[in-house]
Structure 1
Amino acid sequence: MAMVGLFWVTPDAVYVGSPPTAIGSCVRLTAEGLEAEDPDGSRAWTWEGLRSAVVEDVPAESPSGRATKFFGSMISAAFGAFLGEGPPEMTLRLETEAGPEAVTVHSAAAGGYGAEEAALSQDLLARFVAGTADPRTLEEWGREHSREGTPKPREREAVLRTWAQA
Structure 2
Amino acid sequence: MAMVGLFWIVEGDVYVGAKPSGPAPGVRLTPEGVAALGGGQSGLHLWEDVHALTVADVPVKSLKRQVGMVRDVALGTVKELALPMGHGRVDEAPALMSVRVESADGDHELAAYVAAAVGYPQTEIDLSHALLARLTEGAATMETTLAAMSEWGRTWQGGSPRRAEREELLRGWVR
TM range (shorter): 0.7 to 0.9
Q: CA deviation at 1:93?
A: 1.1
Q: Assess if the C-alpha contact under 8 Å between 1:8 and 1:17 holds in 2.
A: yes
Corresponding residue for residue 140 of structure 1: 151
- State whether structure 2 residue 167 is matched by structure 1 residue 157: yes
- State the distance in 1 between where 2:58 and 2:45 align: 22
Show CA shifts across 1:3-59 (max 9, x none). 000000011311000001342421111112110112425211111101101000000
Corresponding residue for residue 107 of structure 2: 100
The one-letter code sitting in structure 1 at the alignment partner of 2:40 is: D
- State the distance in 2 between where 1:39 and 1:84 align: 18
SS at match of 1:44: strand
User: What percentage of residue pairs aligned between the two structures are identical?
Assistant: 40
- State the distance in 2 between where 1:85 and 1:21 align: 16
- State the distance in 1 between where 2:41 and 2:152 align: 29
Which is higher, the Rg of structure 1 or of structure 2? Answer: 2
Corresponding residue for residue 82 of structure 2: none
- State the distance in 1 between where 2:127 and 2:41 align: 30
Q: Assess if the C-alpha contact under 8 Å between 2:19 and 2:26 holds in 1.
A: yes
Once structures 1 and 2 are overlaid, which stretch shifts more, 130-139 or 88-97? 130-139
TM value normalised by structure 2: 0.78
TM value normalised by structure 1: 0.82
- State whether structure 2 residue 37 is matched by structure 1 residue 37: yes
4+ residue runs of structure 1 moved beyond 6 angstroms?
none
Once structures 1 and 2 are overlaid, which stretch shifts more, 6-15 or 41-50? 41-50
Report the number of matched residues: 151
In structure 1, stretches of 5+ residues that fail to align are 70-82
Corresponding residue for residue 114 of structure 1: 121
- State the distance in 1 between where 2:121 and 2:131 align: 15
Q: Assess if the C-alpha contact under 8 Å between 1:3 and 1:9 holds in 2.
A: yes
